[in-house]
Structure 1
Amino acid sequence: MASEEEAAKQAAGIQQFVDHFLHRDRNDAGKYPRGITRLRDAAVKYRKSPMVLPWLNEKTQRMAYYVIPRRREELTAVRDLLVAFVGPSFAKYGYDAPAALDKPHEAALLQRYGAGSTFIVQATADTDERKRLRTALERMVEGVERAPARSWSAPKPLGRLLADFEAALLSGAPQTAQALLQQIDRQGGLSPANVKHLEIRLWAAQGRAREVLALRGLREVLLQDPPVLVKDMVLSALFTAHIEPGLAEGDLARAVDALKAPGSHLSLLADTSLLALSEQAVTVLLVGMHARGEEEELSRSIALLDAEGRGDAVPEALAFYRRQAPAFGTKEPDWAQPDAASAAEPEGEEVPAQTALSTWSDVVAAVAQGDKAAFDLCRRMDIQRGGTSVPPDSVSDGEMAEVFGSLTDAEYEVVWQYALGPFLQELSRSDLTFPHTLTTIMRSIVNQRCDPANLAVLDLLLELFLRSAPQAAEYEEFLEQLSLRFDEWVAPETAGQALDFVDRLVAWAAPAPAARVQTAQLLFAPLHLHMRRLDGAYLSTARSLSDELGLGLDWPEQTPSQTEESEPVVETAQILVYGMDEGVLQRVHDRVTRQFPRVKVVLSAQKVASKHLKETARNSDFSVVITQCAAHAATNCIGQYAKEVVYPRGAGSASVTHAAITALYEHAARQDPSAQLR
């Protein structure tokens, strides 16, 4: 009886909400019952399919559909449904990512379902196009409701999900990482604390320091003594949000006051070993020592940091403690000694001697065998971002290719999760070339399912391979293997990834031009077949790349829906585009300024939070941040000072250009009230 009463109460609540949202006094769609009846009734009566609520503003002739999952954990599945039923065929945009609910009429949605809960699928001004979109959404709702019960996604081993999550972060695909995190949380197998660790890692990769510090349950996570990597990310977030503003103005007292605030959690982080942390995290702990009056400990710590060549982490405001440094004697500071937990040996077990890890082949082989020292080394590399004791030139290309080629499937999964990211990061920072190793890794990915995480890593591998100036035979072999399964994933929905691949081929010299043209044609074929489903930004990129390669493909200037409804007029604007690949940045600059001559595009590849970067982020209308191998100090800085941050779906210039142009149109619409969906 209680369950029936609860269900009736819930149904009444939904009915009240739907009636409020569709009321003709606040929503012009309510004036046309024939057009909304099926979706309105489905929203109230159905239980499995997502809610779809029409919205119309007759003054601006803007039509949209608000698509809301019944349960929060179905967000990713509803996105997949919208891509399948609507995609770019019937909708202008809004089908592939939840929207910000920031308009007055969306307040009820935000209050009831929360931020990041709703897709806003927008129709064009063409009446027939609107009818087709409504029919597609009605078909989606009916199909899902009548379908037998099924799992929303194919089950995937937890280890593989974790590996894909790491790969997505490494390759600059934060949206993919977000979707994987939702799947990990929904599937289970990890403790709540470990899920929080992944969430912190995702926010930190995007430079979202305030989200890290505002994470629900952060105190409980820190009380459980999380891994050093998690502690480092929280400390770095503290630096960006609270410490850096005071230190930048030479106001040490302000920085100290910020650390004394109840929500800083510094007391739970103060015993972390400084030498295992990044520069920003070290600065926070040094300021914390000063705040607690630990002058002798602080002087000793600074002296030892200087001795380790890490004196740059000492802020100028604390430099006077160098003069007070006591003689070390025989006692090291507490933070320089091994943690008790790591020093303790399991009772009754023989602890094996640590393996000497002097080359990357040693590291990868040790990780494959489950060696704890190798895992710890890879984690430290991730924290210190380049401060590794295993330089890439310590091993030959042939030796590394042999190591990767000898791994079993199970071993490769472990290496993918722990060692592949640090290795590719080190390789991307060096001038070394490992074409045979990259080809071997690429083969192992191509032979698996080409999901978004794999595609992001393939893009990174292609970039590193092309950078190695391969010989013609190596070039032909790599592209031949890469293109084996193009027909399984290239489609309008994956246009960004496909165009990123072509763009990389165009940007680098081709020792075998015929192989480059053939690979580009294979990538373009599905896109050209469905070119009327591509939006304007992708069409422009496809046309430009086709012309550069001389493929002779005819791409329309605009699709019919774009011709019917013009985009908002983009006036003067300034945007910041940040990333580590200066070639990608320059191509984004050229494409955006060619299409929008009055837009100023500022490029940055800085690794530190410089004054210039702060000012540029502060003065730009929005910032586009490529998270692939980005330096946390710089991304944290942009996240702190930017008015708005946009994250592209990939690290190639096609994806970044698309993100920038889409954001420019949205910015123009906000500047022109008559163009807004109100």
Structure 2
Amino acid sequence: MNGRHVASEEEVAEQAGGTQEFVDHFLHPDRNDAGKYPRGITLLRNAAIHYRKSPMVLPWLNENTQRMAYYVIPRQRKQFHSVRDLLVAFVGPSFAKYGYDTPAMLDRPHESAILERYGAGSTFVVQATTDTDERKRLRTALERMVKVVERSPTRSWSAPKPLGRLLADFEAALLGGAPETAKTLLQQIDRQGGLSPTNVKHLEIRLLAAQGRANEVLVLRGLREVLLQDPPVPVKDMVLSALFTAYIEPALAEGDPARAVDALKAPDSYFSLLADGDLLALSEQAVTVLLVGMHGRGDGAELSRSIALLDAEGRGDTVPEALASYRRQSVHADAVTAELAERESVATTEPEPEETTGKAALNTWTEIVKAVAQGDRAAFDLCRRMDVRRSDVPIQVEAVSDAEMAGVFADLTDPEYEAVWQYALGPFLQELTRSEAFYPQTLTTVMRSIVNQRCDPANLAVLDLLLELFLRTAPNAQEYTEFLEHMSVGFDQWVAPETAGQALDFVDRLAAFASPAPEARIQTAQMLLTPLRVHARRLDEAYLSTAHSLSDELGLSLGWPEPTSSESADNEPLVGAVQILVYGLDKGVLQRVQERVVQRFPQVKVVLSAEKVASRRLKDAARNSAFSVMITQCAAHAATNCIGQYAKEVVYPRGAGSASVAHAVINALYDLAVRQQELSTRRPR
């Protein structure tokens, strides 16, 4: 016996019976108008019940609003990515405008049965248009998909990537402001194996923290086991920051430190597993939680000493007002000086591992990148600390010349580049976003390594950031032309309707900045827009409108078709007066998003924020907005956690450029209008 369970005929029959009950419940005409037309749903209904390999495809129709969609559900979790690939191949933007490549939220009443049976993030909702002929073509494509998959031999839908590449791409997706891509990569890492369950949890915590989902971090399954294993400082920092957002900040804002202490004493806070930590290695939010914990233990002497230590390091603003009285208590200055000296002494005299002994100090970015490439653990730890402290005072690194930095990146081998990509590139680019340092040659070198290797969503997100940082340096005509020439090498490999958002983001960057070489800008924009123009009918209206606007702005005559006909426009959901929040650190992107959205929906109030702290204004804006759009690219944890805590709903765009963000806003506005319309027209049952 090999221990493998083989389902009996009775078990198979029971499973089929449960599936039939679920399908019939979902398609019942009392709750789904599609059930009134059995001729149109029989094939998909029977396939959902009797097929075993193909995904379930369940139609849904609301005759009052004329909205139709198909719910595509993988039969097993491990089939999620292959089902998405199938939808892109069989449906794509040719037959459906939305929902074929991103799982749905499942927050509507009629979706509760799917949520209960298959869970969150399990289902694609492929949206049909209001055109009758297009609906027929979409249904035919989905019927063809389930037939082909069911009759095809069993196969692996994707070749496994090396684990190191997946981890590097995960970091790249977070850096480039593509959290949904990072989520997909994390699922692939978990499914493929090679990483311990604890380390997978570390990555999951990192993803949730980047999205500002503090409450989800605190209820993450297995969190206690992760903390019992003494996780790395970045993981501890993220959990402490989540505690701050969920419990400590609201109590301190109301001047009630006792409530904050009670929250930390609760068994489900896990604070006892986090109480010990190096204050100077943590972010502002994490430090505040530790200070409140000291207050709760009644350890006034330790609290006063810690506050004095923070003051000595120039981080006194971290101390909450409710604990400021401890600053006035007597703390001998010599004790603080001695502790700082001891820290410095330990850092310089502590025995190093044999493999790192004799290596150069890490004082410049060239030294850090070289050390990471050589596998130096001290360099890895330094890069992690930089990421933790990104919303606070950055760790100071001496400047080096652009030519020297570019030379270091150019000399990396492929394995070395993968290590640098995973650990050092993020902190380096984050430093460039908040400093006045200009590195056009270095950015060109990094960009060249991306376009020459691969053009997946994670790389395209980072390439967009590189383009934005490069244009900020005010390059001369030669540097500008060289950068665009190298960047355009791989356009023919990825520009398509499926990647319209990324392509339009690049064009929008070019249009937003002054050009020292207008001909190079026009040529690059044409190379990006021409493939989209060829397939213009496959673009949804939001992308088509953006492409038309950018062409006009750059003076390109590409002959774009007019947006949706008036007949179809009459069937669009009516977007009324509503307030939304758009958050990101690139004020230029925010302004262009606001202009596009207001031009299209004059009644919509778009509130913009580029704050790095959880200010009262940011809280009020998130609380009073119908939804908040969060650009996570190099964002500050304090601000994203604040939005995640107070927003009614958070929308994450696929990219960090204004085209992707505006597209996410427009789709979310339409979805909001549809939900409001459904609520107002819902018939009593």
Deviation at 1:592, TM superposition (A): 0.9
> Which residue number corresponds to residue 3 of structure 2?
none
Is it true that 1:504 corresponds to 2:487 in the alignment? Answer: no
> Which residue number corresponds to residue 513 of structure 1?
518
Q: Secondary structure at the match of 2:305?
A: helix
Q: Which moved more, 1:235-244 or 1:571-580?
A: 571-580
Aligned counterpart for 1:74 among listed residues 64, 79, 83: 79
Q: Which moved more, 1:376-385 or 1:33-42?
A: 33-42
- Distance in 1 separating the partners of 2:661 and 2:67: 27
Letter in 2 for 1:90: F
Aligned counterpart for 1:27 among listed residues 20, 29, 32: 32
- Distance in 2 separating the partners of 1:494 and 1:315: 46
Q: Deviations over 1:249-295 (max 9, x none)?
A: 11111111111111111100011111110000000000000001111
**RMSD of the alignment, in Å?**
2.4
Letter in 2 for 1:537: A
- Distance in 1 separating the partners of 2:533 and 2:348: 57
Is it true that 1:373 corresponds to 2:374 in the alignment? Answer: no
> Which residue number corresponds to residue 549 of structure 2?
544
Change (3 A) 1:87 1:196: same
Letter in 2 for 1:507: A
> Which residue number corresponds to residue 116 of structure 1?
121
- Distance in 2 separating the partners of 1:336 and 1:274: 15
Change (3 A) 1:674 1:289: closer
Change (3 A) 1:286 1:16: same
Change (3 A) 1:350 1:204: closer
Matched residues, number = 676
- Distance in 1 separating the partners of 2:630 and 2:301: 41
Contact 1:100 1:115 in 2 (8 A): yes
Is it true that 1:258 corresponds to 2:263 in the alignment? Answer: yes
> Which residue number corresponds to residue 628 of structure 1?
633
- Distance in 2 separating the partners of 1:200 and 1:303: 32
> Which residue number corresponds to residue 217 of structure 2?
212
Is it true that 1:469 corresponds to 2:471 in the alignment? Answer: no
Deviation at 1:26, TM superposition (A): 3.0
Task: Return the TM-score normalized by structure 2.
Answer: 0.95
Letter in 1 for 2:539: L
Is it true that 1:55 corresponds to 2:56 in the alignment? Answer: no
Contact 1:401 1:436 in 2 (8 A): yes
> Which residue number corresponds to residue 529 of structure 1?
534
Q: Secondary structure at the match of 2:656?
A: coil
Q: Secondary structure at the match of 2:561?
A: coil
Letter in 1 for 2:104: A
Q: Secondary structure at the match of 2:515?
A: coil
Q: Deviations over 1:13-67 (max 9, x none)?
A: 1122122222333333223222212211211222211110112233333222110
> Which residue number corresponds to residue 104 of structure 2?
99
Aligned counterpart for 2:137 among listed residues 121, 132, 141: 132
Deviation at 1:670, TM superposition (A): 2.4
> Which residue number corresponds to residue 652 of structure 1?
657
Letter in 2 for 1:513: P
Deviation at 1:570, TM superposition (A): 1.1
Change (3 A) 1:476 1:334: closer
Contact 1:365 1:403 in 2 (8 A): yes
Change (3 A) 1:31 1:326: same
> Which residue number corresponds to residue 603 of structure 1?
608
Q: Secondary structure at the match of 2:556?
A: coil
> Which residue number corresponds to residue 300 of structure 2?
295
- Distance in 2 separating the partners of 1:60 and 1:402: 60
Q: Deviations over 1:295-351 (max 9, x none)?
A: 11111111111111111111111111112243265697799869999999799x576
- Distance in 2 separating the partners of 1:415 and 1:69: 36
> Which residue number corresponds to residue 313 of structure 1?
318
- Distance in 2 separating the partners of 1:674 and 1:330: 65
Q: Which moved more, 1:523-532 or 1:338-347?
A: 338-347
Contact 2:275 2:290 in 1 (8 A): yes
> Which residue number corresponds to residue 252 of structure 2?
247
Letter in 1 for 2:94: S
Q: Deviations over 1:149-185 (max 9, x none)?
A: 2223221110110011001101101111011011111
Deviation at 1:594, TM superposition (A): 1.0
Deviation at 1:674, TM superposition (A): 6.7
> Which residue number corresponds to residue 149 of structure 2?
144
- Distance in 2 separating the partners of 1:412 and 1:227: 23
Q: Deviations over 1:173-231 (max 9, x none)?
A: 11110110111111101111111111110010011111111111111110011110000
Change (3 A) 1:304 1:562: farther
Q: Secondary structure at the match of 1:179?
A: helix
Q: Give the unaligned 5+ runs of structure 1.
A: none
- Distance in 2 separating the partners of 1:105 and 1:624: 25
Contact 1:60 1:677 in 2 (8 A): no
Letter in 1 for 2:220: L
Letter in 2 for 1:281: A
> Which residue number corresponds to residue 162 of structure 1?
167
> Which residue number corresponds to residue 618 of structure 2?
613
Aligned counterpart for 1:405 among listed residues 396, 402, 410: 410
Q: How do 1:8-19 residues align onto structure 2 when only pairs under 5 Å count?
A: 8-19=13-24
Change (3 A) 1:565 1:97: farther
Deviation at 1:73, TM superposition (A): 2.5
Letter in 1 for 2:593: V
- Distance in 2 separating the partners of 1:121 and 1:214: 30
Change (3 A) 1:511 1:94: same
Deviation at 1:471, TM superposition (A): 1.2
- Distance in 2 separating the partners of 1:590 and 1:167: 29
Change (3 A) 1:119 1:351: closer
Letter in 2 for 1:431: E
Is it true that 1:394 corresponds to 2:399 in the alignment? Answer: yes
Q: Secondary structure at the match of 1:102?
A: coil
Aligned counterpart for 1:187 among listed residues 182, 187, 192: 192
Q: How do 1:232-243 residues align onto structure 2 when only pairs under 5 Å count?
A: 232-243=237-248
Letter in 1 for 2:22: F
> Which residue number corresponds to residue 41 of structure 1?
46
Is it true that 1:446 corresponds to 2:451 in the alignment? Answer: yes
Q: Secondary structure at the match of 1:672?
A: helix
- Distance in 1 separating the partners of 2:254 and 2:394: 32
Deviation at 1:7, TM superposition (A): 2.3
